[in-house]
Amino acid sequence: MEIFRNQVVIVTGAASGFGRRISEKLATYGAKIIAADINFEQLQTVVAQIQKNGGQAEAQFLDVRDRDSIDSFIRQTTQKYGRLDYIFNNAGIAMGGETYAMTIADWQKIIDINLWSVIQGTVTAYEIMRAQGSGHIINTASMLGLIPGPLSTAYSVTKHGVYGLSRALRSEGKDWGVKVTAICPGFVKTNLLNTSQMFEMTYEDMMKILPYKVMDLDKAVDVILKGVKNNRDLIVFPFHARFSWWLSRYFRGLLNWGNETIISRYRQTKKTQSKVG
């Protein structure tokens, strides 16, 4: 995709999952990748491989819970390269399980990482891009930012916030030449779920109740970058995400019934396991 050639691109959460694959793919298109993550050792491996393959990339340690560090990182990158063309606010975590088992500290953690970091990254990048008269902000939300996500309630809350931020700011940014896109993927094969913090639930429990087929990561990133290239305001994929979103708008009761059925089956399974144990 020629549109990305020589573009200055920040990607957070770039050591794994979406962030890693987006960085790798954009590097093959000739973009200059500034990859950031708290897992610096793994990030350096990713960047080294990009460079070995002939791409332009550099690694930056970043704890997205530190909003001052996000602000400084974006400004220093812009100063170094003279501009900022794209920022993928992608860093995030997942939490799964019963909401009653979560503490306020758990809520604070996921809100800091999934929502506040995106707000900070967006606000700083928007200021820079507005001044330069161009730029594209891409924020990773989720299908659970479009529909209710029981057994992932806190995650769903943060992703609804990212979706709302992105959609509203897009209208404000248009006259300034700033584009904003929200990515709303369904279930994609990354390490997000199996590294999630679970509450009275295991990764295996989560996979058993998923009524969807998990999408291949490479295919997902191709969809994302094509949507960014075409300046889509909202990138919802795969089919199960689009279909669930459609249900939530036109047949809300049916979607609620489906969610309640999933929860009922999950709780019944846990009761059975408890009796057996």
What domains appear along the chain, each with residue ranges and CATH number?
Answer: 2-250 (3.40.50.720)
Percent of residues, the chain, with pLDDT higher than 70: 91
Tell me the pLDDT band of 24, cut-offs 50, 70 and 90.
very high
Q: What is the overall mean pLDDT for the chain?
A: 92
Identified catalytic residue from 29, 81, 86, 155: 155
Non-local (6+) Cβ contacts of 231 within 8 A are 136, 179, 181
For residue 232, count CB atoms less than 10 angstroms from its CB and return exposed for 0-12, middle for 13-18, buried for 19 or more: middle
- φ/ψ of residue 154, rounded to 5: -65, -40
Among 26, 173, 1, CA closest to 10: 26
Task: Characterize the bridge pairing of strands 86-89 and 95-97.
Answer: unpaired
Catalytic annotation present for 155:
yes
pTM for the model stands at 0.92
Give per-residue pLDDT as tens, 85-109.
999 999 999 998 899 999 999 999 9
Note whether 207 and 193 are within 8 A (CB). yes
pLDDT at residue number 211:
64
